[in-house]
Amino acid sequence: MVEGKESEPARQEITSALAGNAVVEPSRDLSAALAQGGQRGALGASLNDPRKHDAVLSRVVAAAHTLRLDRVVVVTLGGPGHAGQARVRIVDVNGQRDTVAEVPWKRGEGAVGRKVRDEVEVTPGPSSADSATESASAPAVSPTTVDSGAPPTSPRKTDSSSKRGSIVEGALGFGAAGRRFRYSDPLSTGLRRYDLSAAPMIGVSGGVYPFASLSRTVDAGLTGGFASAVGVSSESRDGADLGTRWSRFFVGARGRWHATGAMTLGLDLAYAGETFTFEESRIDAQVPSVGYRFVRAGADVAVSFGRFGIEAAAAYDAVTAAGSVANRFPRASIGGFDFAVGPSVSLGYGFSAVAKLEYRRLVYAMHPEPGDRFVAGGAMDELYGLQGGVAYAY
């Protein structure tokens, strides 16, 4: 990032000096991440102010971690008491520290570019023993940012999609969920429908992507989650109370393609379950207790618009077990689908506020035969909810 008069020729000089030595990322993404973290005003001047230095350095390190940068270079041209000079500051993101040097600045002489190149090559990363290897390997180093219009200095793709691959993700959600169960063409007595308008639900989910550091475009990892309704109680038509439990889980694998700086596409395959049961009672054979187990094959997309974003996901649920309802109809076949969609807004430092509308539908075909105790053409089980919460990505 270059600040001050004649910043454009200085950027070009730095870009030329770093060509072949490092991957240079455009500054617009760093500027946006810093703004989300609360940074205001010129970055160089803030870092040069001893009263602000530590707080601003923390913001730079946090923003660089989010963008998967190893180093950030801030060059300030001129300024009070520094006419004809350039202050070159290298922020070592892994070491969470910075160094500063002052060199003469005169357009066309190349001193600033050489200084940046030399500092990037010798500034230690995670360990001093590895610094020479890191600086010589372009895929391992993203040392600086340049103006948003500057071209990348490496054939490696350098838009912000190359930095969106988080290694660890997690979310905590709260909300309300409901259920609607109906039989179609029920010919037997005692086949009860069920309605739950809304119940409190809390859930956690997360993912680990160990290969995110190996590729800036495509990676894969493991995901999982669990949610449970809280304080749910049901009541039969004759007024009897039925204790109710509702929970769901999933564990699986997900692949990600960071298609552009604003879009990530995903494919996932998971083993999942949805359990909705009632306490034992005299109407056990009539209530729609279920214990679904299914293989979920789905796809998702996330699109960002600056601080804001929207995510959508859909999947086919191949049911392998269904619990009590299916046990009453031994020839039943069951299939389903689910989808979710919701917005998000970045809070900075890897945190986001998220909301999500969820819906799952499972459809039964009963295939009854003469002599069956229970007879119905089919059934439909709908489970839905609205969740809000906080997500974190590193």
Q: Give the CATH number for residue 210.
A: 2.40.128.100
Same domain, 178 and 55: no
Whole-number pLDDT of residue 166: 83
pLDDT number for residue 284: 66
At a CB cut-off of 8 Å and minimum separation 6, what does 199 contact?
A: 176, 177, 178, 229, 230, 231, 232, 246
Q: Please report the pLDDT score of residue 77 as a whole number.
A: 83
Q: Are residues 177 and 70 in the same domain?
A: no
Separation between Cα atoms, residue 361 and residue 195, nearest integer Å: 14
Show the tokens assigned to 171. Answer: 């979310």
Given 102, 135, 157, which residue is the final one in a domain? 157
Q: Are residues 123 and 229 in the same domain?
A: no
User: Do residues 87 and 218 share a domain?
Assistant: no
In whole angstroms, give the CA distance from residue 79 to residue 170: 44
Distances (CA, A) of 385 to 181, 227, 233: 15, 12, 17
**What pLDDT score does 211 carry?**
85
Final residue of a structural domain among 157, 179, 199: 157
Look at the chain and report how many structural domains it folds into: 2
CA 204 from centroid of its chain's CA atoms: 14
Q: Is residue 186 assigned to a domain? A: yes
The reply to whether 163 falls in a domain is: no
Identify whether 296 is part of a domain.
yes
Whether 198 and 339 share a structural domain: yes
Same domain, 272 and 213: yes
Which neighbouring-strand residues pair with 353? 345, 390
Element (DSSP H or E) covering residue 206 = strand 194-208
Compute mean pLDDT per 10 residues along the chain, 394 residues long, and list them: 81 79 74 77 83 84 79 82 79 78 82 81 43 31 40 34 68 96 90 92 96 83 97 79 92 92 91 91 76 97 88 97 91 96 90 96 95 93 97 91
Q: Would you say 144 and 18 are in contact if contact means Cβ atoms under 8 Å apart?
A: yes
Asked if residue 384 belongs to a domain, the reply is: yes
Paired tokens of 153: 């200095």
Sheet bearing 97-104, strands edge to edge: 2-3, 71-77, 85-92, 97-104
Are residue 247 and residue 312 in the same domain, yes or no?
A: yes
Q: What is the pLDDT of residue 172?
A: 97
Do 175 and 146 reside in the same domain of the chain? no
- Considering the domain architecture, whether residues 177 and 315 belong to the same structural domain is answered as yes
* pLDDT at residue 368, rounded to an integer: 93
Structural domain containing residue 214 = 168-393
Domain boundary among 93, 124, 157: 157
Same domain, yes or no: 95 and 6: yes
Residue 124 sits in the same domain as residue 214: no
The answer to whether residue 48 is domain-embedded is yes
66 and 194 both lie in a single domain:
no
Put simply, whether the predicted model's pTM sits higher than 0.85 gets the answer no
- Answer whether residue 162 is part of any domain: no
